[in-house]
Amino acid sequence: MRLEIESKWIVLNKKKDLWLNHLKDFPETTYLNDIEWANHLEIFGWKTLRLIKIKNSDNSKTLLQAFIKFLPLSTAVIWIPGGIIGDLRNIVGLQEEIKKMLKVRFCIIRVRFTKVYNCLDEIELIKNKWQRPWMPFTSRFKVLLKLDNSIESLRKNFSRNWRRGLKKSSNSKLRITRINSYETVANLYKDMRLNKGLKLKDIYSEKECKSIFFAFKKKLLILGAEDEFNNICSIRGVIIRNGVLHDIFAATNNIGRLSSASHLILATLIEKGINKGNKEYDLSYIDPENSLGVYNFKKGLGGKVINTLGEFEWTNSFFLRILINLYSKFK
């Protein structure tokens, strides 16, 4: 189906099949662009807005899935975690168009691009009055691991520390099992938060775990490590989408850390991913400056560190810019 529209944004909220068909044209999309993620966020009060623009003159296409929270005083916060997909030359006037659609006076739009950095994309965004946030939600760097070789071949690229951790966990009394309970995941996050003094933003709550389980159902693969007393001491979970494993859950308690349980789980996940014919593992974001341990753990698999285009924002309220950036820092 072809939309005979020139330079106009069209809302696709009620045309889910059409939205999914358009997503198929863009391999850079992730689960953050999917309807399941929208269903998850709607549980927490976010409203969804799916937009597409097709220019018939050059057959270019641009689309986005935004999430909105309305505030008092005709104000809205808009979050686009899956990025603006497609041709960025079509984003002229996008901010004002969104503000008009939402019928608000003030708004701030934060977008995170997962695509690989390209200076031409950044120039296009700057031309259209987007700017880098003072305090981004996440790092711009992530690790991608190709799964087009056997597990034996991949293990040759593991760092020495990673092989040491894997050997330690393999020689332990741990047993890998599949996790089908959101309570198990949530309880391990609670345990980890108490033991490591983490902030609420660093873990998934029980309500969030339940929502993700319900939204993605059969697309989830979560493995856990049982200790000798049949207690789960570590978990890791992925969303499987179009041949790619996407990290979603990862939690380990003190017992799991002492036995390097996360190494055994991740190696098992990789092996299962290869056996199922998946081609890539998106290990999500890394922050070498503020979380060196996580960086070394993910990089130790031998994957490629990707510099993504990252986050940009636009607002017509300086107060909102201050508010959201302070929230990014202290939440």
What 3-state class would DSSP assign to 236?
A: strand
Q: Which of 118, 133, 128 is nearest to 89 (CA)?
A: 128
Give the whole-angstrom CA distance, residue 306 versus residue 158.
18
- Extended beta strands in 12-138, E state: 47-55, 60-71, 75-80, 85-86, 106-116
Q: Which residues pair with 245 in a beta bridge?
A: 240, 281
Q: Under DSSP, is residue 45 helix (H, G, I), strand (E, B) or coil?
A: coil
Q: Considering the entire predicted model, what is its pTM?
A: 0.92
List the beta bridge partners of residue 281.
145, 245
Query: Which of 155, 10, 148 lies closest to 90, judged by CA?
Result: 10
- Taking only the tens of pLDDT, the chain with its 331 residues reads 444 445 689 999 989 999 999 999 999 899 999 999 999 999 999 999 999 999 877 778 999 999 999 999 999 999 999 999 999 999 999 999 999 999 999 999 999 999 999 999 999 999 999 999 999 999 999 999 999 888 889 999 999 999 999 999 999 999 999 999 999 999 999 988 887 766 777 789 999 999 999 999 989 999 999 998 999 999 999 999 999 999 999 999 999 999 999 999 999 999 999 999 999 999 999 999 888 999 999 999 999 999 999 999 999 999 999 988 887 766 6
Q: Which ranges of 134-205 does DSSP label H, i.e. alpha helix?
A: 151-155, 160-170, 182-196
| Phi (first) and psi of residue 38, to 5 degrees | -65, -45
